[in-house]
Amino acid sequence: MQLRDYWAVVSKRWWLILLVAFTATAGSYGFSKLQEPVYRSTIKLTVTPSRYDYGLTMVIESMLRQYSERLRTNRIAEAVNDRLHLDLSTEKLKSKVKVSPVSEDYILMVTVDDSDPNRARDIAYAWTDEFVKQQQILMAPVNPQDRIEVSILDRPTPGELYYPKTRQFAVAAAALGLVIGLLLSFLLEYLDDTLKTADDVERFAGLPVLGAIPVVSAQTAATPSPMSAARPLTANRGG
């Protein structure tokens, strides 16, 4: 197929391509509206040594991994559950919380996902606050010069919508619909073996087309030509 053949298929079945794209977009929008929204609130914990030296820096990098595990303990989950009166199981509450250490910045990123944006914020703050209190208790007997302080960098804001991403889903569905519509159009064209143009005939027969019979409408066929109208007249005169 040449470029003009592809364009001919698109021009012929453009409505099908747009229909598939529109259906995919509408389906994606409907799917997004049926999903339970998930809001995400993020809070940062800073890990700060009392003094900076190579040995203590190496200790902090190791401690960040340990802190990540301690932030996921049942003890903190139970304390937050009681503090906020959530009435959730420990495992259910823990599943809402994710912890990511950022070693180069000595930061712990704590994210909380929940169907309520304000509750996501409250859990994030209570969770990190409980951890800071536990850390202060652990560091109390340690020499002040060797302490590692953990503090909340900033209070969290109400969670932002994390899922579903309605706009992104719609754009992706529209693009996918266009691709499927194009493929379907070319498939239908491939399955259509009727000969419609002189080019189709030449490709099928392998011979050049010398002429074509024009399509005559019923109205044109019923109207006599000047020559056919003159023939009866001539015959009558000859009689």
Q: Is 91's pLDDT higher than 90?
A: yes
Instruction: Provide φ and ψ at 109, rounded to 5°.
Output: -95, 125
Q: Is 2's pLDDT higher than 80?
A: no
For the segment 71-83, what is each residue's pLDDT rounded down to a tens digit?
Answer: 999 999 999 999 9
* Average pLDDT estimate for 98-106: 88
Give the lowest-confidence range in 79-93, 100-114, 133-147, 217-231: 217-231
* CATH of region 38-163, choose from 3.40.50.10680, 2.40.160.20, 3.30.70.1130, 1.20.140.10: 3.30.70.1130
For the segment 188-239, what is each residue's pLDDT rounded down to a tens digit?
Answer: 888 876 656 666 666 656 566 556 666 655 565 555 555 554 455 444 444 4
Alpha helices in 74-225 (DSSP H): 74-84, 90-95, 117-139, 166-191, 198-205, 218-222
Structure tokens at 6: 């592809």
Q: For the chain, give every domain's residue range.
A: 3-34+165-191, 38-163, 198-231
Structure tokens at 23: 């259906």
For the segment 27-76, what is each residue's pLDDT rounded down to a tens digit?
Answer: 998 988 888 999 999 999 998 877 766 666 677 778 888 899 999 999 99
Mean per-residue pLDDT over the chain, rounded: 83
* Average pLDDT estimate for 13-24: 91
